Amino acid sequence: LIREWKDDGTTCRRRPFVTLTYAQSLDGKIAIHQQSEEEKEEEEEEEENGAKQKGPSSNLVLSGPDSLLMTHGLRSIHDAILVGGSTLLVDNPRLSNRLWGSRQHQQQQQQHQPIPVVLDTNLQSVTKLGALRKAKNILVCCSHEAATNVDVSVDDDKNKFTAIPCNTTNDGTLDLRDVLLRLYERGIRSVMVEGGAQVLTSFVTTNNNDDDNDHHHHQPLVDCVCVTISPKLIGQANGIPSIHNIPSIAHPYVNLANNDNGGRFISLGDDCVFLCRQQQ
């Protein structure tokens, strides 16, 4: 179904087709905090002073085997898979299709591998991970300033990556519309966004730019949503919500489960998968 939506030609914008997909617990958590008591005290003090919440998350396994296979199947029909720098650094994912099209599932002639894309504004995460990085041949979207400082003399396959300079917003984060444009210019026509929580939230909430008269800047960035809901509870204390700070009024993603956008729930093993398409 997603393949049909992706290829039907209705998304006539100068950007790739974007599928937002992730797994969450029954109480809406995508990961958990792992912090020392000292880090927790520092975070509480920062929150009291109005600072943004910090702290690493763990690589939390939520998907069952059936929904995990589905996720790899989705990777096989997208040109690229995108995550944030924090997810790369903390989880060190391979960002590849290892299950769909394997010997156990020979209905696929070969395993299509999506291009790994990482959002890392200052190249801090990819630099810290260095040769330990499991994802290979990655594209790293970063600021123009960071891209000019890349050490091109490094010719180590384990450290090698391609820096893609992108515009930044007033708050210093990457401009997602420009990120998608740069990927589109590289021939990438579909992107699967997997996380982490801040990246998911940014894609969902970036839908308006009052300083730009281009009507394309008033369109949502996400074309399809695929959420795996696991029958597990994480709890409020350590749980990180999958998406947060969504405006409650007049938001284009509020009413997703209806016939107009193909909203439906599908059972896969012990999990439940919600699938829908953004109205055009």
106-142 per-position pLDDT tens digit: 554 566 889 999 999 999 999 999 989 999 899 999 9
Q: What does the pLDDT read at residue 149?
A: 87
C-alpha to C-alpha distance for 280 and 103, rounded to whole angstroms: 38
Q: What does the pLDDT read at residue 250?
A: 43
Q: What does the pLDDT read at residue 14?
A: 82
Provide the residue count of the chain: 280
C-alpha to C-alpha distance for 39 and 94, rounded to whole angstroms: 28
Residue 7: φ, ψ to 5°: -105, 5
Q: Decide the pairing of beta strands 239-241 and 29-32.
A: antiparallel
Residues with pLDDT less than 70, the chain = 1-13, 34-59, 102-111, 151-159, 207-218, 246-262, 279-280
Q: What does the pLDDT read at residue 249?
A: 44
C-alpha to C-alpha distance for 56 and 72, rounded to whole angstroms: 25
Whole-structure pTM value: 0.81
Cα Rg of the chain (Å, integer) = 19
Q: What does the pLDDT read at residue 244?
A: 78
Q: What does the pLDDT read at residue 112?
A: 80
At CA 120, angle to CA 147 and CA 29, rounded to 5? Answer: 175
Percent of the chain with pLDDT over 90: 44
C-alpha to C-alpha distance for 256 and 19, rounded to whole angstroms: 14
Q: What does the pLDDT read at residue 160?
A: 84
Q: What does the pLDDT read at residue 211?
A: 45
Q: What does the pLDDT read at residue 236?
A: 81
3-state SS string for 122-175? CCHHHHHHHHHCCCCCEEEEEEHHHHHCCCCCCCCCCCCEEEEEECECCCCCEC
Q: What does the pLDDT read at residue 202?
A: 93
Q: What does the pLDDT read at residue 111?
A: 67
Q: What does the pLDDT read at residue 50?
A: 43
Contact between 247 and 35 under an 8 Å Cβ cutoff? The reply is: no
C-alpha to C-alpha distance for 205 and 234, rounded to whole angstroms: 24
